[in-house]
Amino acid sequence: MDKIRTPSLFPQRKKQKWMHPSISLSSCEVKFSELVIFIMERKMGVTRRTFLMELARRKGFRVENDDSVTHIVAENNSCAEVLEWLRGHKVRDSSKFELLDISWFTACMAAGKPVESEKKHQLIVKASSFVAGTVSQYACQRRTTLNNYNKKFTDAFDILAENYEFRENEVSSLAFMRATSVMKCLPFTVVRMKDLEGLPCMGVRSNLLLYVQEIIEEGESSRVKDVLTDERYQSFKLFISVFGVGLKTSEKWYRMGFRTLEEVRADKTLKLSRMQKPGFLHYEDLVSCVSKGEADAVSLIVNNTVRTFLPDALVTITGGFRRGKKIGHDVDFLITSPGLQEEEEILHKVIDLWEKQGLLLYYDLVPSTFEQAKLPSRKVDAFDHFQKCFLILKLHQQRVDTSSSSTLKESDKAEVKDWKAIRVDLVVSPFEQYAYALLGWTGSRSSNLNNMIFLKAKSEEEIFAHLGLDYIDPWERNA
């Protein structure tokens, strides 16, 4: 696959006042390569900015103006002013950076190393300057990045929503899910009840607001603490962590008296499904998070394999990783091709090859149901009718520390596991419906536009336009 060149985060433009050539300090040793600083010239001036850049580099910091930037430092600028400045220079995804006041930079220089970006250093939008009426009642129109300023509230709501889901109370579960979605999109931290006035999905349920008030006043919710120690919740949470186990099975096992996975494994009369068997066998791997690096490694395998049989295929990573997440529970891919004729064959060929290569640990191939489907449907999302395959792949990993393994006995070396089981979903879409499949499988679930008729659309932008909606980038769909 040809490498696609990523455009510079801050594109070089002729005669732009804010852009100056990098200072040549090749003799300076870079001590902190993970952190890359960009210093804004706005309200600072050329001379001072140049001095600060030189100072930072002498102390071992990286100072750049490209797409490697992680921290943006500003002086005498509000968060709104920095965001406006970024938009003016065509930088749309501000969630990639930490926006910090010059006080953080000064603290780093004094310490001679990076310091924690405390709240006093962070540039955030104040609630007083935020207009609640700008928050859409529709999740698909709320720009929600990975910057969650209200995590203590949304974490609590997620637990409550999950508990209601375990108890099959869909109305209450949905209410907390919607509240979570709204609070995730807020560009400020809620510190008082007045901050919620005028926001959608927040005033319908009085008990929801009581939880918010308790968290504001006490820092936590007593109800959430009760849920976390509840035996039923703990058991269901544990059971559904197993690949292939849903709410019905969890209910069954709980009624049978099981409370731990060890008890389930020990029961010889219990018949596990074809999916649950590998779920238990590879439990430790599957319950751990998939890193961005692991997702990229899987992406390389999927791309190379699919293009062995379909050279002009488009293979796109979807799900949370397309929305900018650094970790996930599985890796999703969408496959299509302008010349895709053997839609029912491509996944069979891919599966057969992985089986021969010893990479396939489990698969479940689900055929397309588009011909039988009556769309649009209120019961099933349209993109659920695409052909798909749920797999567990063996991802071989290089040992980080090879020196330690050299001291092992030969018998022990044979037992050292050099691979990890990774959950992978493959979805095959007809080329003319690719844009809809891409939108649906990118998510998040709250952001999806459901029950759509397939009007002609070559891109996600055209789908939004068909519905008269503002286009929302994938990294802003983390509702």
The pLDDT tens digits of the residues spanning 359-372 come to 999 999 998 876 55
Q: What's the pLDDT band for 343 if we cut at 50, 70, 90? A: low
* Burial group, residue 184, by CB count within 10 angstroms (0-12, 13-18, 19+): buried
Tallying the residues shown for the chain, one arrives at 479
Mean pLDDT computed over every residue of the chain: 85
| Among the ranges given (92-96, 229-233, 475-479), the one the predictor scored with the smallest mean pLDDT | 92-96
| Among the ranges given (30-34, 200-204, 210-214), the one the predictor scored with the smallest mean pLDDT | 200-204
Domain extent at residue 62: 1-123
Bridge pairing between strands 32-39 and 61-63: parallel
Whether 425 has a binding-site annotation, put simply, is yes
The pair of three-digit structure tokens given for residue 244, joined into one six-digit string: 């292939």
- CATH number, domain at 353? 3.30.460.10
Q: Of 120, 102, 124, 115, give the one whose Cα is nearest residue 53.
A: 102
Bridge pairing between strands 290-291 and 419-428: unpaired
Active site residue ranges: 330, 332, 425
Q: What's the pLDDT band for 119 if we cut at 50, 70, 90? A: confident
Looking at per-residue pLDDT, the higher value among 128 and 276 belongs to: 276
| Own/partner long-range contacts of 267-271 (Cβ < 8 Å, ≥24 apart) | none
76-95: per-residue pLDDT in tens? 888 878 887 887 787 767 77
Whether 332 has a binding-site annotation, put simply, is yes
Q: Find the mean pLDDT for residues 317-330.
A: 95
Where helices occur in 268-426 by DSSP H, the ranges are 276-281, 283-287, 292-309, 319-322, 346-357, 402-405, 410-413
Is the per-residue pLDDT at 6 higher than 60? no
Q: Is residue 319 domain-shared with residue 445, that is, in the same domain?
A: yes
Q: Is residue 87 domain-shared with residue 205, that is, in the same domain?
A: no
The domain boundary, picked from 92, 123, 154, lies at 123
Query: Beta partners for 316?
Result: 334
The pair of three-digit structure tokens given for residue 222, joined into one six-digit string: 């007593």
Q: What's the pLDDT band for 451 if we cut at 50, 70, 90? A: low
First-to-last alpha carbon distance for the chain, in angstroms, is: 32
Q: Is residue 310 domain-shared with residue 371, that is, in the same domain?
A: yes
Q: Find the mean pLDDT for residues 171-181.
A: 93
Q: Is residue 445 domain-shared with residue 301, that is, in the same domain?
A: yes
pTM for the full predicted model: 0.73
Q: Is residue 438 domain-shared with residue 361, that is, in the same domain?
A: yes
Q: Is residue 104 domain-shared with residue 142, that is, in the same domain?
A: no
Q: Would residue 476 count as lying in a domain?
A: no
Amino acid letter, 308: T
Phi, psi angles (nearest 5°) of residue 187: -90, 25
